[in-house]
Amino acid sequence: MRIPRSLTLMTLLTVAAPATAQELEPTTLSAWRIPIHTAPDDPETGEYGIWAAGPDYKVSFHDGFTFYPVLGESYPENLPLRWETESIAVGSTRIADADSPTRATYTDWRYELHYPGVVEAYDVRPDGVEQTFTLTRRPVGATAGDDLVVTGRWHTQLTSADRSARHDRLVFCDDRGKPLVEYGAPVALDAAGRRCEMTASLANGVTRLTLDAGWLDRATYPVIVDPLTRPLELGLGDIRSGDIAHGPTNVMFLVESRYNSAGDEDATGRLLNNRFANERVVFADISSNYHSRNAEVAYVAGARYGSFAQGYGRWVVAVEVNYSGPSTIYAYIHNVAGPTMNGGEYLYMNGHPGSESRPTIGGSVSMTSDHALIVFQRDISGDDDRVTSIIVDASDPTPSFGTPTTVDLTPGYRGIWPNVTRNSDGPNSSWVVVWLNVGTPAHSSGDSTGKMARIDHNGAVAGRYPFAYGYIGVPKIDGRQGRYLVVWQDTHPGFPDYHLRARRFDWDESSYLPAVLTGRSIASAPTGTVDNVLDLGANRSVAYDSNTQSHWAVAYQNMAQDGGLVRVGFTAGVVESVQPSSHQVYDTFLCYNPDDYEFPVVMDVRFEQSGEHAVHTRRFQYDPHAESSTYGIGCGGTISANNAGLHAPPYAGSEFLGIDLTGGVQGARTLLVVSTQKGKILLPDGCFFNVGDSWTAAAIGTTDAFGNAYAGPFNLGDEPLFTGVLNWQWLQVVPGKGVVLATEGLRTEVH
């Protein structure tokens, strides 16, 4: 039977400072490599085209070979370099020209244009694009002593000085003279392995690649002409925003948005396992026709795919697309382990008034739900942004959007920067969204309001609540099972410190208002310099541990790009913290991995000396020493930690530590004792008292008809934070006999 708790464990444990987290060293995620692909035409801009990308460039092939160096946010627009083949000739014998019939083919990493007798090909490599011209045989009509000449015209805003023919690279610079792209010194190879250096000239935007006639006369066909186009500025493409979600066992989906330039953002998505390995790019939107940004992803466990419900589980990616004017949002839906690049369905949110931006998405962990929820910011007339939501039915054969719902429209205020919980529990549960309300025009005092709403599984608003007032920044939230944590920035200029505030609340499905619990400062920094302002970033920076149902991880950085990562417990107190990287951290996002009981973390970091960006990952883990184990000799029943049926080792900040007695005597009076010390005292009836002298009665009660009892749940505090060792033992008095039986001891190490 359940026995009421009668003990505050904090009287026995030791007050401690937040611990440094146990975690693995950071690893570098492989840089962007997006295979050659296409996608459905965009409703606004038309044809998507044929694209690919490397770590520091992207390239298109639908309008000739066009090379885009990644320039980063500091460049206002792209500066592409497009090559147009004008002719391929041996002496006066022209093999191909711009009007020649061609046949285009491509595989993941190679694009080919087939002319009669020659193949113009482009190999997409990590360091650049290798251009080749392959002559399969000596051209009919060519005579000895004729040079092979490939003539191409450049179309670009970049500049390169005209020059006479020589074996050397061509370097293309921006308007300040900074080198950005190199077209490598060409060489020729024949089938016998012989090699010949070629010359390259440049005049009025036209390049002539020339192969010596004497070498060509002796060559064994096929003959290959081989220059390489590569970027000269590396690591400029910082990750503007991103998200990571965990789905079925050992599968995660990572989305990122990268600045190609300030005028062009690209989005991509890749599947990987729990160790950030076995990556496979399955989604890309890298057209230069528009911005693809603010991508988020959610997993919908009950979404069906295939004509006859062949399987369950689909990813839904929400992407903001910004054209020259207003923005809109689309959803990309991908089967759980679908191997085909851009092989899912696209839903476009067109035909609605205004501009839609900053999407955030929640999925569902229930096999009985095929719904996701996208929440976004809608601006109808230029200064009346309102938080809006829309349901996504993610199942085949016809995934669809529902009807948009206005979550909140407060007269005189703009609703901006929504953020929604990552998952719901199914058809009978909700998502919770938070956002920032600011005045129109913004109050000169800087005041704003943090608001939240509960949205049921059909998209209806089921409750609203203002959770904070004053000088607050962009809020973030996560939670499930009725348990939530909201975090926001507090930048009041009159306070001595900047703070990150966190507040716990529970929200029952039957209630319009939440039960607001404790609020804490979880990080602070002195005021006086803008570099100290604490920032949650544009990404999902809060994640909920659905196993313990007591912990959340929060990632943040300050304006000087120093990162922080904390874990908080059931009252929002900090129990562990870590600096996630020794480098500058620009953006951080994370989720929870229930398979391995850890938080996968992704960071855009910048190396101070080189200025290059890279994507680092970490696995934010619990202390492995937090565990319960038996000791000593028992003579009546079995003692164990119950944890309310959860995976909840005795972590500091846990709300649900329980102690079980099984296999005892039916109807026996029971006493659960606890001490910080072990003992081994022989009792009169031959059992041992396994806890030390300074013991406390934790619970008193009676066993049930099966001889079982339960005490708890006991709270392991997070603020003040307590750690240490607790030793437990059940004692039973046998009815009618007065005999005392005792279990083994249970040692619980709280970390």
Question: pLDDT tens, 204-234?
Answer: 999 999 999 999 999 999 999 999 999 987 7
Residue 468 sits at the vertex; the CA angle it makes with 467 and 469, to the nearest 5 degrees, is: 140
pLDDT exceeds 70 at position 5: no
Q: What is the rounded average pLDDT of the residues 424-446? A: 82
The owner of tokens 């146990």 is 22
pLDDT exceeds 70 at position 658: yes
Residue 559, amino acid: M
Rounded-to-integer distance, Cα 333 and Cα 697, Å: 56
Tell me 17's DSSP state. Answer: P
Question: What pLDDT score was predicted for residue 187?
Answer: 96
pLDDT exceeds 50 at position 456: yes
Both tokens assigned to 601: 């973390």
Q: What is the rounded average pLDDT of the residues 549-555? A: 95
* 3-state secondary structure (DSSP) of residue 644: helix
Percent of the chain exceeding pLDDT 70 equals: 91
Both tokens assigned to 692: 């030390």
> pLDDT: is 379 or 111 the higher one?
111
Rounded-to-integer distance, Cα 73 and Cα 257, Å: 12
What is the pLDDT confidence band of residue 1, given thresholds at 50, 70 and 90? very low
Report residue 749: phi and psi, to 5°: -100, 115
Per-residue model confidence as pLDDT tens digits over 231-288 = 987 766 667 788 999 999 999 999 998 889 988 999 999 999 999 998 899 999 999 9
pLDDT exceeds 60 at position 8: no
pLDDT exceeds 60 at position 400: yes
Percent of the chain exceeding pLDDT 90 equals: 64
Q: What is the rounded average pLDDT of the residues 393-411? A: 91
pLDDT exceeds 60 at position 3: no
Long-range contact pairs involving 348-352 (C-beta distance under 8 Å, separation at least 24):
348/43, 349/390, 349/401, 350/43, 350/44, 352/328, 352/378, 352/404
What is the pLDDT confidence band of residue 4, given thresholds at 50, 70 and 90? very low
Question: What pLDDT score was predicted for residue 560?
Answer: 64
Q: How many CB atoms lie within 10 A of CB 9?
A: 21
Q: What is the rounded average pLDDT of the residues 503-529? A: 88
> pLDDT: is 3 or 253 the higher one?
253
Question: What pLDDT score was predicted for residue 494?
Answer: 64
Per-residue model confidence as pLDDT tens digits over 118-171 = 999 999 999 999 999 999 988 888 888 999 999 999 999 999 999 999 999 999
pLDDT exceeds 90 at position 18: no
| Summary mean pLDDT of the chain | 88
Question: What pLDDT score was predicted for residue 6?
Answer: 37
pLDDT exceeds 90 at position 186: yes
Per-residue model confidence as pLDDT tens digits over 597-654 = 999 999 887 777 766 778 888 899 999 899 999 999 999 899 999 876 677 789 999 9
* 3-state secondary structure (DSSP) of residue 124: strand
What is the pLDDT confidence band of residue 443, given thresholds at 50, 70 and 90? very low
Both tokens assigned to 683: 């009792």
Question: What pLDDT score was predicted for residue 444?
Answer: 43
Residues 91, 94, 95, 97: is their CA dihedral positive or negative? positive
Tell me which of 39-43, 134-138, 374-378, 444-448 is least confident: 444-448
Q: CA torsion angle for 392, 396, 397, 399 (degrees, to 10)?
A: 10
pLDDT exceeds 70 at position 472: yes
> pLDDT: is 306 or 261 the higher one?
261
pTM, two decimals, is: 0.92
Question: What pLDDT score was predicted for residue 446?
Answer: 59
What is the pLDDT confidence band of residue 532, given thresholds at 50, 70 and 90? low
pLDDT exceeds 60 at position 442: no
